[in-house]
Amino acid sequence: RTKRPAAAFRSRRCFLNESHCAARGLTCEVFMQNRTSNYDIMRSAAAKLFLSYDQEEMIRKLSLVHDDTWLYLPLVGRMYRIDRKTGSVTWSPDGFQTAFAADFEAAMTLYDVLCYSKSDCHPAHAFANLNSFSSLRLGNLPENGFLQGPTASFTGKALAAACRALSGKRLDGGDVAYELALLPFLSVVLRFWEADEEFPSSLQILVDQNVLDFMHYETLMYAMIHLLRRLREEECVALR
């Protein structure tokens, strides 16, 4: 397998902090000025890196649907395709009769899973709290801080409808609990508690114990941002 140039994805760490701050409603002048250009640069670099990898190995290890032009990989209930010649990532709601550019977090998640995942990657089918990975890998995401902004306005009824729309499997525990397919081969578990007179609402995310065999920790944060965005989209539909 082609050795991965270290700088191409390690530079993402600073963007994790920016995404984290943005999710909590925080901004800074440099971030706002450079966000578009830096994100475009990172995405372009990741696409070029993708093209340097053995695509047949990607197909084999992840059992990808593919043809001569595209690799196909669903992410959080939405089908994506990656152009095998340019590395561009698009998604479609209608079998690619129409197509839209993937958002930054979705594209970076897919690139990393395709390029970084170990040759023998496989899910553990056992779950660990997302916070446990934070303390092990970076130690700079405070307890619940990463989720505080994105989950503050969730409601149990609408969140349950969003999980059902994403073909989630209902579980016990919490006011709302579902297992969702992050990727076809990798699930996450969500447990949500409504706010009451003593405590604010709370969302717990559990990820597969082998998730870091599929992606870097920084990419896991991108995947979670995308997951929360998809839940919010489906929740908005449910509230109409």
* pLDDT at site 120: 94
Average the pLDDT over each of 35-44, 71-80, 131-140, 218-227 and give the range with the smallest value.
131-140
Residue 32 has pLDDT above 90, yes or no: no
* pLDDT at site 214: 97
Average the pLDDT over each of 58-67, 116-125, 176-185, 193-202 and give the range with the smallest value.
193-202
* pLDDT tens per residue across span 142-173: 444 555 555 556 788 999 999 999 999 999 99
Helix/strand/coil (H, E, C) string of the chain? CCCCCHHHHHCCHHHHHHHHHHHCCCCCHHHHHHHHHHHHHHHHHHHHHHHCCCHHHHHHHHCCEECCCEEEEEECCEEEEEECCCCCEEEECCCCCCCEECCHHHHHHHHHHHHHCCCCCCCCCCEEEHHHHHHHHCCCCCCCHHHHHHHCCCCHHHHHHHHHHCCCEECCCCCEEEEEEEECCEEEEEEEECCCCCCCCEEEEEEECCHHHCCCHHHHHHHHHHHHHHHHHHHHHHHC
Q: What is the mean pLDDT of residues 188-201?
A: 91
Residue 124 has pLDDT above 70, yes or no: yes
Q: What is the mean pLDDT of residues 188-211?
A: 92
> pLDDT band at 34, cuts 50/70/90?
low
* pTM for this entry: 0.80
* pLDDT at site 235: 85
* pLDDT tens per residue across span 44-79: 999 999 999 999 999 999 999 999 999 999 999 999
* pLDDT at site 153: 65
* pLDDT at site 200: 86
